[in-house]
Amino acid sequence: MKTRLQRRHGRSVCGYPARALALALLLAALSTRADAGFTCTGWLSAVPVPGITCTNSSGQVFLKGNSHVLRLLSDDARVAGRLVAWMDAAYQPDGTAIFSGPAYAEAGTWDASGTNFTPSGGVWTISYNGVTQLDGSSKYSMTGYGMGANIEGLRLTIGGTWPSTTSSPMDSASRANPLHPWTVSAGQTIEARVDVIALSQTARSAGLAFWSSPAYHVLFGRTYIALAKEQKKNLAYFSAARASIKDTNVVLSLALTPVGKNVVLVGKVLDKDNGALIAQVIATDTPASDPTLSASQLAELTGGRVWQGLTADPVGPPHTSGSTQLIHVAQESNVAPVTAFATFDNLELRTYEVPQVAIQPPCGCPGPTPA
């Protein structure tokens, strides 16, 4: 079974009154036609469900269940259309707030009056979160994936700007996800694949993960590939290997196979042009606390910094299901500020049946039970 996922991701800074309910879009992405960005702005069209608000004794205001409709205008027809968003928000007495929720956007066109909408057949599914600041502006990030019509084929660029130097891998990464649940059973292998079209010169690595709690990661840079396990925003590195890996047109793969009470992890980088294997790393996650690399060992194998924030492998059963896949880009600069990005395409999820194997002894007596 193979599932194709296409997504978009963006960050925005928009001016709003402190209690604005509408979510407007300012997206940055790459199309398959050319490495050119596009922008999209949203105008509040309707608020069919105002939601419920309550205030506590400290003056904090909580909004639950708000729903609003936006008219989206863009220079790219694949993101213009009608967006319906649901919002939960929590406001402080000074007007600052945090907010989040799901949304979906129908690609299409509006008439000149902004009253009548004609869908073109494509739908974006989005998850967003953000903050409202003291000056009334809002900053937020969003991730999503598209289905149908002319929105197929969008490449995803993930980027970040770090205003100060960082000391841990988690503080140095920017990530996105398509919110697609996954599960793997005994006798199966599940594999996630994504094309890495390009890494910026300031990007240290690109990565792919099966998210649960904890999460399994494969990541690669120009000189290494590594497997890690994320637990409460800390990383335990199972293994890493030196390799010479190009930073354009490769396929990054992470496969999980349950074996008894364990899960075998296989990370690969393949050449997108000819399918050749460039680098591979393998590890096994067991219910025990498995051996992991120290910060100095990781730095020696990857040629990078000695990170803080590394952790031991937690005790507990390996994970065989979760809520999504993650893709991410990281930087490793000792100089700030720094901006880094990576361009991804064709995120796929595949499930394979693992064949059962038995050996018949020469004597013709019963062979061993298949594993």
CATH number for position 190: 2.60.120
Number of structural domains found in the chain: 2
Structure tokens at 79: 């993101």
Give the chain's largest Cα–Cα span. 85
> 167, 180, 132, 145: which is closest to 13 by C-alpha?
132
Give the least confident one: 101-110, 252-261, 268-277.
101-110
Residue 73 sits in the same domain as residue 182: no
Nearest Cα residue to 79 out of 106, 46, 103, 104: 106
Confirm if 275 and 250 have CB atoms less than 8 A apart: no
Domain that holds residue 78: 10-151
Nearest CA-CA partner of 263 in 196, 212, 335, 194? 212
- Look at residues 233, 215, 237 and name the one whose alpha carbon lies nearest to residue 225: 237
Q: How confident is the model at residue 135 (pLDDT cuts 50, 70, 90)?
A: confident
Task: List, as own/partner pairs, every contact residues 260-265 make where C-beta atoms lie below 8 angstroms and the sequence separation is at least 24, other chains included.
Answer: 261/286, 261/287, 261/317, 261/318, 262/286, 262/287, 262/318, 263/216, 263/318, 263/319, 263/320, 265/216, 265/218, 265/227, 265/238
- What is the model's pLDDT at position 156? 67
Q: Does 186 share its domain with 95? A: no
Task: For residue 219, name the pLDDT band (cuts at 50, 70, 90).
Answer: very high
Q: Mind listing the pLDDT tens digit for each residue in 141-186?
A: 666 667 777 776 556 677 777 888 888 887 888 887 766 789 999 9
State the pLDDT at residue 229.
95
In a domain, 362, yes or no: no
Q: Coil, strand or helix: which one is 45? A: strand
Q: Compute the distance between CA of residue 356 and CA of residue 79 in angstroms, rounded to an integer.
A: 47
Q: Is residue 1 part of a domain?
A: no
Domain boundary among 151, 179, 197: 151
Would 99 be classed as within a structural domain? Answer: yes
Task: Tell me which residue of 237, 123, 97, 222 sits closest to 169, measured CA to CA.
Answer: 237
> Within a domain: residue 365?
no
Residue owning tokens 């393949």: 270
- Residue 17 within a domain: yes
User: Is residue 335 pLDDT above 70, yes or no?
Assistant: yes
The answer on 241 and 138 residing in a single domain is: no
Which residue has tokens 């990576």? 342
Q: Are strands 338-353 and 2-15 parallel, antiparallel or unpaired?
A: antiparallel
> Residues 127, 260: one domain?
no
Q: Is residue 366 part of a domain?
A: no
335 and 247 in a common domain: yes
Same domain, 62 and 127: yes
Please write down the long-range contacts of 73-77, taking CB distance under 8 Å and 24 or more positions apart: 73/40, 73/41, 73/42, 73/43, 73/110, 74/38, 74/39, 74/40, 74/41, 75/38, 75/39, 76/31, 76/38, 76/40, 77/107, 77/109, 77/120, 77/150
- Look at residue 12 and tell me whether its pLDDT is greater than 70: no
User: To which residue do tokens 């349950």 refer?
Assistant: 258
Calpha distance 154→177 (Å, rounded) = 14
Do 115 and 164 belong to one domain? no
3-class secondary-structure state, position 8: strand
**Domain boundary at 151, 184, 205, which?**
151
Least confident segment among 103-107, 172-176, 184-188, 245-249: 172-176
Whether the pLDDT of residue 34 is over 80: the answer is: no
Clarify whether residues 185 and 262 are in a common domain. Answer: yes
Domain boundary among 116, 151, 186: 151
Instruction: Mark whether 212 and 332 lie in a shared domain.
Output: yes
Question: Do 241 and 119 share a structural domain?
Answer: no
Residue 123 has pLDDT above 90, yes or no: no
Cβ atoms within 10 A of the Cβ of 143, count? 23
What CA–CA distances, in Å, run from 106 to 7, 23, 85, 118?
A: 14, 15, 12, 9
Q: Is residue 368 in a domain?
A: no
279 with 300, same domain: the answer is yes
Higher pLDDT, 109 or 15: 109
Task: Identify whether 184 is part of a domain.
Answer: yes
Do 14 and 50 fall within a single domain?
yes
